[in-house]
Amino acid sequence: MNKDQRKELKVSAIENGTVIDHIPAHNLFQVVRILNLEKYESQILIGMNLDSQKYGQKGILKLSNKFFKSDEINKIALVAPTATMIVIRDFQIVEKRNVEIPDEVVKIVKCFNPNCITNHEKIITRFNVIDKADLRLQCHYCEKITAKDNVTFL
């Protein structure tokens, strides 16, 4: 068995579905949470602390029979900007692309402003992304800016 094949076997291949690769190892479970994977019923393979030439250690998710809309997958970019999404059909890669930070972030992030109404009533949070490179999110409600270092996920 050559080296490449052995690597493949660490996390087995899927027939149809989506592979999310190059997730920074320590953000893997955040990605799981953002995509609400607890609620998915199909088979999910989670690979943790795998070797990555680019990033040292990485995480990988293989989701059988799951195909995301791009806005859904782009949420991942908030925590795992290095991630790549690979769509597999019949064991073949049919699409491979990097995640992109969306224009609007709905539901998953908490507003940094403690006096924001969204932190006091049952309201779905909503932000406009005003800076993608340096992640700055402006709250649709209180208009305050949540910066990268203050991003907390709900």
Partner 1 sequence: MKKRSLVSINDFSKEESIRILDRAMEFEKNPTQKILENFVVATLFFEPSTRTRLSFESAVNRLGGKVIGFTDSASSSVQKGESLKDTIKTVCNYSDLIVMRHPREGSARFASEVASVPIINAGDGANQHPTQCLLDLYSIRKTQGHLDNLHVAFVGDLKYGRTVHSLVIALCNFNTTFHLVSPQELKLPSSVKMHIKEKQLNYHQYTDLSEAVPHADIIYMTRIQKERFSDPIEYEKVKNSYVLSSKMLVTARENMKVLHPLPRVNEISEDVDDMPQAYYFEQALNGVYVRQALLASILGV
Q: Minimal CA–CA distance to 37: which of 72, 10, 11, 80?
A: 72
Min. distance of Cβ 136 from partner 1 in angstroms? 10
Is residue 143 exposed (0-12), middle (13-18) or buried (19+ Cβ within 10 Å)?
Answer: exposed
Min. distance of Cβ 145 from partner 1 in angstroms? 7
Min. distance of Cβ 95 from Zn ion in angstroms? 35
Interface segment toward partner 1; rule CB under 8 A; list 32-40, 62-70, 87-95, 136-144 = 136-144
- Per CB under 8 A, 144 contacts partner 1: yes
Where in 3-42 is the site for partner 1 (CB under 8 A)?
none
- Give how many residues touch partner 1 by CB under 8 A: 17
Backbone angles phi, psi at 60, to 5 degrees: -145, 145
Amino acid, res. 83? A
Residue 94 or 123: the one with the smaller Cβ distance to partner 1 is 123
Is residue 80 exposed (0-12), middle (13-18) or buried (19+ Cβ within 10 Å)?
Answer: buried
- Per CB under 8 A, 150 contacts partner 1: no
Is residue 79 exposed (0-12), middle (13-18) or buried (19+ Cβ within 10 Å)?
Answer: buried
Where in 28-87 is the site for Zn ion (CB under 5 A)?
none
Binding residue for partner 1, selected from 3, 6, 39, 120, defined by CB under 8 A = 120
